[in-house]
Amino acid sequence: MSDLEPLGPEEGVQRFLRHHEPGVRKTTYQNAKHRLSVFLEWCDEREIGNLNELSGRDLADFVDWRRTDVAAITLQKQLSSVRQALRWWADIEAVEEGLAEKLHAPELPDGAESKDVFLDPHRAKAALEYFDRHHYASRDHALLAILWRTGMRRSAVRSIDVDDLEADDHAVRVEHRPETGTTLKNGDDGNRWVYLGPKWFQILDDYAKNPDREVVIDDHDRQPLFTTRLGTRPHGGTIYKWVLRALHPCTYAECPHDRTPEECEARARDAVPARCPSARSPHAVRRGAITYHLNEEAAPEVVSERMDVSLDVLYQHYDARTEREKMAVRRQELPN
């Protein structure tokens, strides 16, 4: 380790991408950029400020952290980009030689390539009705409402400030602001206004005024909408855990797995929320929201712009409709 040259994760990723870009297709480059942005999110959450510090155990922790949020086949693809970056970082003496070979992808279970985990609209409705009735304008209520209504990524949700709520239009502004601590996956291309509608906007507006909400002014003089009890803007990993727990069936209904909170490994003290068999991540909510919009006959082009996802990626990774559901939507467009 003594021969390594210090290099921060963000600078390391930027250097790798600059090296990588000329020799690959644009889509390959964009995929690598996205996959490494997830790695940077983990580094930020773990407060890893120097790539020299990475060990095999850290990489195992990264795999465990990521595997609860994506399908196994997706995880394998994402790890390939991180492994490629690790090999290049070893060449420039930023990580130890051979570290890339310590990044192990889990074996794929049978049927993993066709597995599609998403939040069913009936579950979304049940959860939202529960929070609307019993915990109106709470953090979890506002968070589930915006995720289901807009299909936003975690990075977009955490970037929202109170000042981004546009009452006259019942909308929220989403902006890429790397210079003040928040970024969007697609950079400035992800900037947009997202219509919520009066009912959904009111939930967010009331949450912003909720006396139980921690009012935070960050180092950039910004006031984040979603805040933690520690007086900070939440990291992506924090939002992930909030969503998992809010969507545990026992939160808003009865446990379908014959468990009690005291004995459940997803609910008890020191529990891991992802261990609930019915756990649903923010990414699963996003996929469910996109599928719901499509089933409700929203034009794919509208969904693409609203959810900040290309049509190709939308159809390949987010459209969880059955073939029969797709036919039913197409049928509405046909003449009698």
Give the CATH number of the domain where residue 51 resides. Answer: 1.10.150.130
pLDDT band at 2, cuts 50/70/90? low
The model's pLDDT over 189-233, given as tens digits with 9 standing for 90+, comes to 999 999 999 999 999 999 999 999 999 999 999 999 999 999 999
Tokens of 152: 């936003």
Q: In whole angstroms, what is the distance from residue 252 CA to residue 318 CA?
A: 26
Q: Is residue 208 part of a domain?
A: yes
Residues 6+ apart with CB under 8 A from 213: 139, 207, 227
Q: Is residue 245 part of a domain?
A: yes
| Cα dihedral: 240, 229, 180, 13 (round 10) | -40
Q: Is residue 334 part of a domain?
A: no
Residues 319, 293 contacting (CB under 8 angstroms): no
CA angle 302, 305, 311 (to 5 degrees): 80
Residue where one domain finishes, among candidates 275, 296, 327:
275
Q: What is the pLDDT of residue 111?
A: 37
Residues 179 and 263 both lie in one domain: yes
Q: In whole angstroms, what is the distance from residue 116 CA to residue 126 CA?
A: 21
Lowest mean pLDDT among 56-60, 127-131, 258-262: 258-262
The model's pLDDT over 143-194, given as tens digits with 9 standing for 90+, comes to 999 999 999 999 999 999 999 999 999 999 999 999 999 999 888 999 999 9
User: With 70 as the cut, is the pLDDT of residue 324 above it?
Assistant: yes
Q: What is the pLDDT of residue 101?
A: 85
Residues 125 and 85 both lie in one domain: no
Q: What is each CA distance from 103 to 44, 160, 175, in whole angstroms? A: 19, 34, 34
Lowest mean pLDDT among 38-52, 134-148, 163-177: 38-52
> 283, 76, 316: which is closest to 185 by C-alpha?
283
Q: Is residue 315 part of a domain?
A: no
Q: Where would I find the H helices in the chain?
A: 9-20, 26-45, 56-67, 72-91, 121-134, 139-150, 154-159, 198-208, 236-246, 249-252, 282-295, 300-307, 311-313, 323-331
Q: What percent of the chain has pLDDT over 70?
A: 94
pLDDT band at 236, cuts 50/70/90? confident
User: With 70 as the cut, is the pLDDT of residue 110 above it?
Assistant: no
Task: Please report, for the chain, how many H helices and E strands are present, in that order.
Answer: 14, 3
Residues 275, 266 contacting (CB under 8 angstroms): yes
User: With 70 as the cut, is the pLDDT of residue 77 above it?
Assistant: yes
Residues 52 and 82 both lie in one domain: yes
Q: What is the pLDDT of residue 212?
A: 95
Q: In whole angstroms, what is the distance from residue 35 CA to residue 215 CA?
A: 33
Residues 199 and 263 both lie in one domain: yes
Q: Is residue 314 part of a domain?
A: no
Q: What is the pLDDT of residue 112?
A: 40
Residues 20 and 130 both lie in one domain: no
Q: In whole angstroms, what is the distance from residue 39 CA to residue 63 CA?
A: 10
Q: What is the mean pLDDT of residues 1-11?
A: 83
Q: What is the mean pLDDT of residues 285-307?
A: 90
Q: Which amino acid is at 39?
A: F
Q: What is the pLDDT of residue 113?
A: 38
CATH of residue 169's domain is 1.10.443.10
Q: What is the pLDDT of residue 115?
A: 36
Q: In whole angstroms, what is the distance from residue 330 CA to residue 309 CA?
A: 21
Q: In whole angstroms, what is the distance from residue 3 CA to residue 83 CA?
A: 21
Residues 151, 292 contacting (CB under 8 angstroms): no
Residues 15 and 45 both lie in one domain: yes
Residues 254 and 128 both lie in one domain: yes
Q: What is the pLDDT of residue 80?
A: 86
Local structure of 192: helix, strand or coil? strand
The model's pLDDT over 248-272, given as tens digits with 9 standing for 90+, comes to 999 999 898 888 878 888 887 777 7
Residues 88 and 170 both lie in one domain: no
Q: Give residue 164's domain range.
A: 121-275
Give the number of domains in the chain: 2
- In the 8-state DSSP scheme, what is residue 72? H
Residues 160 and 255 both lie in one domain: yes
Q: What is the pLDDT of residue 116?
A: 58
> Using alpha carbons only, how large is the chain's radius of gyration in Å?
21
Residues 192 and 265 both lie in one domain: yes
Q: Is residue 115 part of a domain?
A: no
